[in-house]
Structure formats: structure tokens, C-alpha cells
Structure 1
Amino acid sequence: MSDRVRLKGRFIKKKVRDKQVKAVAAMREAHLSKNVPRSPPNLKFSFDGRRIVDMQYLSEHLKCIKCKKDIFLRNTVEESRMGLNCILNISCEECSTLTRVHTGKMHGTGENKNRVDVNTKAVLGAVHSGIGETALNKLLVCLNVPPISANLYKRYEREIGPAIEAAAKDSCREAAKEEKQLVIANVDKLCQEM
């Protein structure tokens, strides 16, 4: 009796095939057990530091995606961050479903989708006040808020750059119009001074 069997046109050992069959059965079992309500996970997650949160947005989205019951921050299992925005995985006390909740609004279209308002506003504020990524992160560290990466800062800086340029051009046009109107209105005074 041979210890090899044919699988998908190739010969493999029976032990290897049996191992693969067991792995597939385990994956199938795990997939089926996901739909069965289970007890809440062992919650040992704790937040380090402070976060910037849009309270109105967060309060509207603290609902289980499955049973639509209220979920609570104390049941947070995991946190991931996108700059200053947090994405919380919160377990429902009723059905144990994990719900992903953002702490702020998202915006954007096309290649700029999945942009976060708080990141855009922080970078805009930094540019407007004349500080860069390093100074912004120094401020955040003093506030005990996790800093943002240089790459993320640059990405949002590229997003707001065209808007800042457009606003500057509009401002210059308005100033030129106003100056022209003042010159026309005061042409007699200007001629007398010369």
C-alpha cells in the first residue's frame, strides 16, 4: 500500500492530505460558530492618554450593528488609530457582536476618501498658525494625545494645499478690486497730492 495519494493532479503524502482536511474542517467549524451567540470577551483593554472625540458623532453611533442596542465604551476590546481619529471595536453586551465605531466624521471622494475631519482640521490649524508636523506633535504630546506620523501629516497637507491656494487667490482678487475702487473714488485727492 502506497503512502501517497493524488490531489489536484499532484501526488502528496496521506499525512499531508489528512492534515489539510483537518485544517479545512477546523476553519469550517470556526466559521459556523461565529453565528452562535457567545459570552462577552475578557475585557482587559485600557486607553492610554487622551483622545480627540466628536461627542455628537460618537453618541449617535454607539449602537450595535446587529441588534441595534446601545453599546458602551467600557466594553471596548481594541482600538486602532488613523492619526487623531480612533476606531474602536466595541463588544455588545446583548449579542457579543463587535461593532467598529469611529470617534469622528469621515469625508472625501475618489482617491481622498476615508479622510478624517479631525486630521484635516489639525493640519489646517498647524499650517494656518505657521507650525509644522514636529511642533504639532510637541503640542499633542503635552496634551497626552497620541501624535500623528509625518507621512499622515504630509498627506493631509497635500489635501488642504489647493484649498489654501484658492482662498489666497480669492483674497488677493478681492483686495485688488477694493484698491481699484478706492483709487477711482479718490482720484481727485491723489492728483492734487502730486
Structure 2
Amino acid sequence: MNENSKKKVFNWKGKRVTEKVYNLRVRQVKVGKNLRSVYGCKKEKANLKESATESNNLEGRRIVHLKTLFEHIFYKCQKCDTMVPLNNTVDEERIGLASIFTVQCENCRGKIRFAIDKKHQVKKQCTRTKARSHYDVNTRAAMGALNAGVGNTHINKILASLNIPPLYINCYKTHETEVGTVAEEMARESCIAATLMERELSIQNVDKLRNLL
């Protein structure tokens, strides 16, 4: 038997596979490497801070909590007691869908930072990071995705149409963990309550059940 007539053997992780399966696994590995280079790997620490944008690049729309925003529309500089308008924004730090703006006083050149959304406290078991407070808008986005049965990609498609900066995967996963943990706890409590109710009804109607049997 000559060398040309020999069949080529394909192995993947110690197991013999067909050429079709081998080529598929190779393509999957390449795709996985590309995704990790863009979104990061599972072992990486989740970073909620996405980006900082200079004032000349500020554009598009943002999701704001009106009451929180109104508190900063007429803001006085603590150094010189001068009114600081919001159009003096010089920097933006995005944490998911929330933003922290930095405005500069025209008089003393002092800088003031303020957020456009409010925060809530998070239990230790409900977060993937050391942060013990999350912005409401990010948690509500993850909650809405869970209720709608969609994921981060679907949210970002809608945000792109609205010209709102995207919700990056690390931030989304952090808040998905928060929402998922609470949802599991609520489901567990609901199952326990239903079991107790079923037990009570069975005890109350034990005579009827005996007659049926």
C-alpha cells in the first residue's frame, strides 16, 4: 500500500474524529480566540467602568434619572459659589448605561463630578465584583432582558438604534448575576410556599381524598 492510499487520521483532544469534525473544532477555536480578544475571558475580573470620553466626543443620547439630573441642573461651585452650567462638561465616565459627568467652573476652573442615575446596595452573593452598590439603570436593563428572554446582544442592537452607548458584556454579566440570584431566591420561596399550601389543603381534605381512593 503506497502513501497516497493511506487515509489521514484526525485526532482532537485524544479522540479520533472525522475530518469534518476536526475542521469544525479548529474554526470554533479561532472564533473563541477572536471573541476573547474583544470581550475578555471568563477569568478576567469584571470591570464596570467602560470608558472615559472627552468633551469634544460627547454625542448621542443617555438614559437619565430625572430627579437625580434635576439636582445638578443648577449646581454651585463649592469653591467660588458660582453657578456651573451642564454645558461646561469636560469629561464623561460611563459605567454601563450610567454616566458620571465632570463639569468645570468657568470662574475658578474647579471640576465637579456628578452621576445621572441613582444607586442601590447589593448583597455580597449577588455580585461578581467588590462593588457593593450598582446603578439602577444597569440592573433594570438586565432585569428587562431576563423578562423578555433576550441577552446583551439584543439590548445593544436597540441601544445602537437609539444612539446610546452600548452595555458591554462584563457589566451586563455582573448585573445579570445580581438579578439572577434574586430571581432564584424568589422562585425557591415560591416553591416552598406552594408546597406548604398543598400540604395544608391535603390535611384539610383528607376524608375526601380517602373516598376518592
User: After TM superposition, is the score higher than 0.5?
Assistant: yes
Tell me the equivalent position of 1:120: 139
**Which 4+ stretches in 1 moved above 4 angstroms?**
none
Could you tell me whether the CA contact under 8 Å between 1:84 and 1:147 is conserved in 2?
A: yes
The number of residue pairs the alignment matches comes to 152
Q: For 2:205 and 2:83, how far apart are their aligned partners in 1?
A: 67
Question: 1 CA distance for matches of 2:58 and 2:83?
Answer: 20
2:210 to 188, 191, 194: 191
- Structure 2: where are the runs of 5+ without partners? 1-53, 125-129
Q: TM-score scaled by structure 1?
A: 0.66
Q: Within 5 A, what are the aligned runs for 1:22-33?
A: none
In the alignment, the residues of structure 2 paired with residue 100 and residue 147 of structure 1 have an alpha-carbon distance, to the nearest angstrom, of 22
Instruction: Tell me what 2:190 maps to.
Output: 171
Aligned-partner Cα distance in 1 for 2:55–2:165? 20
What is the TM-score of this pair, normalised by structure 2? 0.61
Match of 2:151 in 1: 132
SS of the equivalent of 2:79 reads coil
Structure-2 separation of matches of 1:68 and 1:172: 57
| Alpha-carbon offset, residue 170 of structure 1 | 0.9
Measure, in 1, the Cα distance between the counterparts of 2:106 and 2:208: 78
Q: Structure 1, residues 139-172: CA drift from partner, whole Å, max 9, x if none? A: 2223332111111111222233322221111111
Q: Bigger radius of gyration, 1 or 2?
A: 1
Identity %: 41
Say what the alpha-carbon RMSD is for the aligned residues: 2.5
Does the CA-based 8 Å contact 2:105-2:111 persist in structure 1? yes
Residues 22-76 of structure 1: CA distance to partner in whole angstroms, max 9, x if unpaired? Answer: xxxxxxxxxxxxxxxxxxxxx9646422111011112224533434544322221
Letter in 2 for 1:117: D
Unaligned runs of 5+ in 1: 1-42
Residue 92 of structure 2 corresponds to 79
1:38 aligns with: none
**1:105 matched to which residue of 2?**
118
